[in-house]
Amino acid sequence: MPDAARVRAVPEQVSSETGGEFVILDLKSGRYHGMADVAARIWELVQDGATVGQIDRAIRDEYDVDPTACRRDVESFLADLRSRGLVEIDEVGAR
């Protein structure tokens, strides 16, 4: 995923933060998703309209993690969110 790819939550979801964790309800499927720790931080950044690069840098800055492993894990997590229908990733505008 390019650094400039914009990640945004789909409108068909609602999320709520409680105690540093997020609970997300996919309104289309009726499924709940829970996120804690790093996943919750990534979701918070998604809510702020961050790009893939901004998310990667924020996680590297806030956690003691190898840069290569961080990027791989961030991209994997974002791909998982996309496959669940919770986010859209605009890679076209990033080119």
Q: What pLDDT, in 10s, does the model give residues 70-94?
A: 999 999 999 999 999 999 999 876 5
Torsion of CA 61, 63, 69, 73, to 10 degrees: -100
Nearest one of 65, 90, 70, 74 to 9, comparing CA atoms: 90
Query: Residue 27: which CATH number?
Result: 1.10.10
- Number of domains, the chain: 1
Q: Which pLDDT tens digit goes with each residue over 29-64? A: 999 999 999 999 999 999 999 999 999 999 999 999
Whether 59 is in a domain gets the answer yes
Give pTM, 2 decimals: 0.90
In a domain, 60, yes or no: yes
Indicate whether 92 belongs to any domain: no
Predicted local distance difference test score (pLDDT) of residue 93: 60
Note whether residue 93 is domain-resident.
no
- The boundaries of the domain holding residue 71 are 12-85
